[in-house]
Amino acid sequence: MPRFKLTVEYQGTRYSGWQVQKNARTVQGEILAALRKVTGKMEPELHGSGRTDTGVHALRQAAHLDLHEDAQPEALRRALNTELPSDIHILAIERTHPRFHARHHAVARSYLYQVSRRRTAFGKKLTWWVKEDLDVERMKQAAALFAGMKNCRSFSADEPEEKSTLVLIERVQVREAGDLILIRVEGSHFLWKMVRRIVGVLVEAGKGKLSNAGITRFLEGKSEEPARLAAPASGLFLERVYYQGDARQDDLEPVLMISSRKM
């Protein structure tokens, strides 16, 4: 049975996340529906590298697909994109090893978050507009506290009794791009709502309302405060899924550039 690796981008605004759910529109569900039309098979096998939540976007989600019959990757990609809605696009399809697994073989993932410092007519669905002034240097100092193997129980909505909350966070970057503040969080894996809670804490630090000592306490114990501060889904993108041998992405660029304009 041939196996293919898919690279998918999508705007998650209209979807209840990646994974198929009953009575909900999902990205995986839309791709499966397109596969049924294109291949004529009722139950194609499609597995993503991981879930994204309601409203979260992806620049390069990875998935693997099993087909009962062989197909030309580029022809399949074009056919699927013809059937898919405009906010889901297959960037690439390639043949892969029969044992390749999009989730189990991933060695790291990176997420990008876009904070807007002004109201924008174009980027509302792709950013979080924060009205208060933000000190980017404070945010960078706070971001450095997250690097390393951390117990992220204060930053997860998962049950710690059911799932380990230890996560290797490889880097958290913060930089300005026009009127956007870009935040990248890269690590071995991520817990439910973890990135949105980290971003919310960094924004609170940028407002001057949360000290580095306070953030350290979140990382050393259990606190409900990060849940209260969690950033909305609108500004979050699954940026990249890394596999053995992949070069890490160093440049940190916005998805939608918002120029600096005083309104």
Active-site amino acid positions: 53
Q: Is 41 helix (H, G, I), strand (E, B) or coil?
A: coil
Q: Cβ distance 120 to 180 under 8 Å?
A: no
- What span, in angstroms and rounded, lies between the C-alpha atoms of 69 and 38? 12
Residues across the chain: 263
CA separation, residue 164 to residues 123, 129, 168, 183, 240 (Å): 36, 33, 12, 25, 23
DSSP designation for 68: S
Q: Is 203 helix (H, G, I), strand (E, B) or coil?
A: helix
The DSSP element (H or E) to which 110 belongs, if any, is strand 106-116
Q: Which two tokens stand for residue 145?
A: 């506290």
Nearest to 85 by CA among 3, 183, 189, 14: 14
CA separation, residue 187 to residues 106, 117, 131, 149, 239 (Å): 11, 26, 29, 9, 12
Nearest to 62 by CA among 11, 28, 12, 112: 28
